[in-house]
Amino acid sequence: MIGETISHYNILEKLGEGGMGVVYKAEDIRLKRAVALKFLPKGLEAQEPERARFLQEAQAASALNHPNICAIHTLGDHQGQQFIDMEFVDGKTLRQLLPLQKMDDAINYAVQIGDALQEAHSHGIVHRDVKPENIMVNAKNQIKVMDFGLAKLKGTLRITKTSSTVGTLAYMAPEHIEGSETDARGDIFSFGIVLYEMLTGHRPFRGEHEAAIMYSIVNENPEPIQKYRPDISSELLHILDRALEKDPEDRYQSVHEMVIDLRRVQKATSKVQRPVPSDALQPEPAPPAPGAMKKYSSKKIIRSGIAGLLLLCLISVLYLVVRTRPVRLNPSRTTTALRIPFKAINYASLSRDGNWVVFPAQDENGKWDVYWTNVATGKATRITQESAFWIMSADISPDLSQIGYDCKTDPNSVWAVKLCSSQGGPGRTLLDTGVGPVWSPDGQRIGAARIGDYQSFSAPSASGKYEVWSIRPDGTDKRRELIDTVSIARAPLAFSWSPDGASVTWVRNWLEGYGEVMVRELASGRERQVTFDRKTVDEVIWAANGEILFVSDKSGILNVWTIPAGGGSASQVTEGGVPVMAARISDDNRTLVYIQSEYISRIWISAIDGGNPHPVTFADALIREAAFSPDGKYIASASAD
């Protein structure tokens, strides 16, 4: 056809050929512009299914007007031969450019591809053949998604006999291969494969023949991308993981959600990176040999005790009389025990001025609410009216006007984050999933952690991994600040903002049973490990002086420690024989609040029928066993002071 004139088009050169058509570059004589003409391959012009698909492609693409979709000008006919007049893209297919050397290019292209698919999906059009051959990159580095020959239009009849016969096998979604009805989420799976291939030059599912490829897509996990791109960020890894979920219900439910995450990564990579001090970049130690660490976290034991068997719990306020920078053990410090009139309390917080302590507590009926007390008076005042099954933690806003708290209304409910006035009144749900709310330093956002289901500490995240989300107090602008794809799904759920709000610190939990303090710059995604102790870590707090306080059993029992945010040597802040948890510090670094919890029991005597019960011991000790002497005059017991 080269050199021929078809209608008002001069055929100039052949651009490509595939199962769905032959494409030529042509000159529109009337409009004096270059166009691309697509014809059905020879022998297929008279076959009705192919003609119907050809018409459907024209209808689908012509309904879309988007800068990242190849525009359709018109559907023509010349001597019974149909053709599509479409935009001529001066560039290369994405296939010709793979693998992309620059991470930024891959993310940039992915955002544009996602925008194009979202435009199609918003018009009820599913592409069903997303692959590098159907994506062009023009001379201006602009993506053009094309070839809607297999597109499925909402409300149209299925043209092919079975959905498994359309598309390119290596890019099909599992449900597509299995012959199930497909929707826009099938395009998302294909898009995930394309993104993986852009980054690596390899497909995540491979095999020697078609059956092996199909088996891999349906049954096997993607090949770990870190094999090819060890520099990949955890955010981008999360995007790929979610896009390539086997079950459509576990996948992104819309391309728009995926594009939001991609744009966040794009913004982070476009930021100007500040150099990190060399002493902050410490190598990560190799994990210990199996069995080298204790199997269970002491936090699990402590929190279980608070929920059930705890008989006495004291909040201690430690005054650091001489201001220190950084915080260190001060020989002239004073300690005051706040006698809180509750048998069980949970993670408390401290106002920025150090004058108010906010804490959840359980009343005599076993119901939980949030209370606060002035350090000077010690009188507890009830703030919330929840009477909840469980409240684990609470945090007061910098201006003291609002209190954020997590709440589990009944044994079967999911943890939610609520907000109420510090003057009392009903709470309103801010995040329908989350634990451990923490206010940002400027009071403009409140964050909370999510994690895969962990027994009763269920605050499920979409990824099944540790995540931190934040939201404005008015309920707008919800966003994910952090996803830790390395940390195992286990408490603690603690995190803290840096004084400038630009970074967060959190606890990364390892399978061997220990935790380490981590820091992440929110804009760049750069993260670093701060501690290398391989010990239990219960809490992290980023103090206003730039130090990070954390609760660890480095000394054999849980105590508060402090370490520079850039890493270095840690110093112990509290000491004693009773485990410490839930620490918070005032902005002037002079007042620290923490919880000390211990189990206390008494020996009681009563008649066999239960009559005349009375205690015979009064010491603050944990008594495990007791037995009468043969003559009944003495009682022997095992106890821990």
Q: Could you list the active site residues?
A: 129
For 361, residues 6+ apart whose C-beta sits below 8 A from its C-beta are: 340, 342, 344, 345, 346, 368, 369, 370, 371, 380
Per-residue tokens: 274: 């500040």
Name the CA dihedral angle for 130, 133, 135, 136, rounded to a multiple of 10 degrees.
Answer: 180
Per-residue tokens: 20: 């769905």
Task: Give the Cα separation of 243 and 193 in Å (integer).
Answer: 8
Helix axes 234-243, 184-200, angle to 10 degrees: 140
* Closest CA relative to residue 458, chosen from 425, 506, 409, 510: 409
Task: Give the Cα separation of 265 and 450 in Å (integer).
Answer: 20
CA 614 vs CA 304, 439, 586, 601: distances in Å: 28, 47, 44, 13
Handedness of CA 10, 14, 16, 20 (dihedral sign): positive
Q: Map 114-178 to HEC letters.
A: HHHHHHHHHCCEECCCCCHHHEEEECCCCEEECCCCCCEECCCCCCCCCHHHCCCHHHCCHHHHC
Which amino acid is located at 141 in the chain? N
Q: Give me the residue label for tokens 């008594």.
A: 623
Contact predicate 359/370, CB 8 Å: yes
Q: How many Å from the N-terminal Cα to the C-terminal Cα in the chain?
A: 97
